[in-house]
Amino acid sequence: MPRRARLYAASVAALAGVCVTAALPAAAQQPEIRPGLWEMTLSGTANVKQNVCLTPAMVKDMKQMAAKGDPSSDCKASAEKVSGASRMFDITCTKPAAYQASVVVTVDGPDRFSMSQDYSMAQGGKKQQGKLAMTYRRIGDCKA
């Protein structure tokens, strides 16, 4: 995988907990997404697919799951706004690399949601800007 694709994939993986948390409505008592095996497809300069298992406990307490993400990351979400099935917010990180993004997450149902990001990041003294689009779809049950 080219270096740029690895960088995108690493950024996406680090932010996955924050982003999945954002998929839930602000006032929800019950989660809108179902536990199971989810496929994330990243579209941008690099196309990457990654599978992640969301257990019932993770879906029930998504904020706790996000807090247990990459221990070297200090990513924080702020400026949250909700409009219908969409949630908009900003992400700011200083480690492991400087990263800022404006994010829109739209829940299309219990088995599908999408996310787009306009981002700016700095790593190794180089600054990059771009757009990412991610789609998430539930593909089945997690394998034991």
Q: pLDDT tens digits, residue range 100-130?
A: 989 888 888 889 988 888 999 887 788 889 8
Contact by Cβ (8 Å): 128, 121: yes
Distance between CA atoms of residues 49 and 43, nearest Å = 9
pLDDT of the residue at 118: 92
Please name the residue ranges forming H helices in 68-126: none
Two tokens, residue 93: 């990180």
- Check the CA dihedral 56-31-110-118 and report its sign: negative
Residue stretches of the chain with pLDDT short of 70: 1-31, 45, 60-70
As a whole number of angstroms, the distance between CA 13 and CA 35 comes to: 18
- Of 40, 41, 47, the C-alpha closest to 2 is 47
50, 12 contact by CB (below 8 A): yes
CA distance 73 to 65: 14
